[in-house]
Amino acid sequence: MNSALWTQLVIFISLLTASLLVFLVKRTQPNKDFSSLSFRVKTWWGMFVIFAFATLFNPIVSLLSLMILCFFALKEYYSMIKTRKVDRRAFLWAYLSIPVQFYWIYIEWYGMFIVFIPIYVFLFLPLPRILGKKGTVGFLRSVSSTQWGLMLMVFGLSHLAYFQFASPKYGPNLVLFLVLLTQLNDVIHFLISLYFGKRKVAPTSNPNISWEGFLGSILITTLVAYLVYPYLTPFDVTFGIISGLLIAIGGFCGALTISVLKRDLLIGDDEKSTNMKESYLSRVDSLTYTAPIFFHVIRYFYDFM
């Protein structure tokens, strides 16, 4: 318990320092857009508060908080899709699957947790859409878009909640390790791309993602993983370094995928595109990839998960 308190105290001080640095940078360089950086730091604070309560009091607090996070992330994703009234029936059933998915986590039924959305929801979710009026018109786009949202915003993010139930001893700190490195990776990538990025990965969807940022963030995230893994994880040095690499690469893929996804869905809607810059999706895009990857790699190699 003392170790957990000390760890969270260090993270709290680090967050205060990061918030102060962001404030100073925005004041000294008003001509640059640091809004993305500010959103990331706010995300750090939110995640820190959630898992501090979970560690110090009850993991159910974390479970409910993450369930709400998944709901809002899915809601924002669906708000980007051009739909008709008949499509909303499938959305309703998609929302109802969120508490069911988190119920499997609560009772620690890993087998159902891992197959519920990818198999059962995938197979049966199209039925309400088919049984509605005009069931064949726009069917594929409607159902596939709904499934994509569930896989990323609910199935992917729900792994964050399962850490603490799979391993009460190590789970909270593993989540802090994951969130810390994921968000750090995003910030480093953003800063390097802002000042040194010349080779854009996908300039039409996200000009803040560059190959220079990708390589720089991999190096720095892996280095930070090497420095902090002894305090937040039970890993050895090899897996501590591998974790940094996995999170850096997974975070890059998540940010890139969500950027392209948003760009595709919001073409021609500039007002909504501007509003979505401050959305939940912009804050948790990388975690939709890093959370399941990190979870399943640990579960494969370590018995405590």
Residue 114 in contact with residue 122, Cβ under 8 Å? no
What is the amino acid identity at position 137? Answer: V
183-190 average pLDDT score? 86
**DSSP letter, residue 206:** E
Residue 12 has pLDDT above 80, yes or no: no
- 3-state secondary structure string, 91-122? HHHHHHHHHHHHHHHHCCCHHHHHHHHHHHHH
On average, the pLDDT of the chain sits at 82
Q: For residue range 126-152, what is the model confidence (pLDDT) as tens digits?
A: 887 777 665 567 778 888 888 999 999
pLDDT score recorded for residue 205: 66
Do residues 233 and 177 touch, judged by C-beta distance below 8 A?
A: yes
What is the rounded average pLDDT of the residues 31-41? 69
Residue 7 has pLDDT above 80, yes or no: no
pLDDT at 1 over 50: no
| pLDDT number for residue 200 | 85
Determine the Cα–Cα distance for residues 173 and 59; give it in Å rounded to an integer: 12
What pLDDT does 294 receive? 96
Side chain identity at residue 126, one-letter code = P
Instruction: Note whether 73 and 280 are within 8 A (CB).
Output: yes
Q: Where is average pLDDT lowest: 67-71, 124-128, 264-268?
A: 264-268
Task: Identify the band that residue 219 occupies on the pLDDT scale cut at 50, 70 and 90.
Answer: very high
> Whole-model pTM?
0.84
Say which residues have a Cβ less than 8 Å from residue 168's Cβ, sequence separation at least 6.
59
Whether residue 214 contacts residue 245, with contact meaning beta carbons closer than 8 Å, is answered with no
Quickly state the pLDDT bin for 31 (edges 50, 70, 90).
confident
Bin 138: left if φ > 0, else alpha if -120 < ψ < 50, else beta. Answer: left
User: Angle between the 211-232 and 237-265 helix axes, to the nearest 10 degrees?
Assistant: 130
Percentage of the chain lying above the pLDDT 70 cut: 82
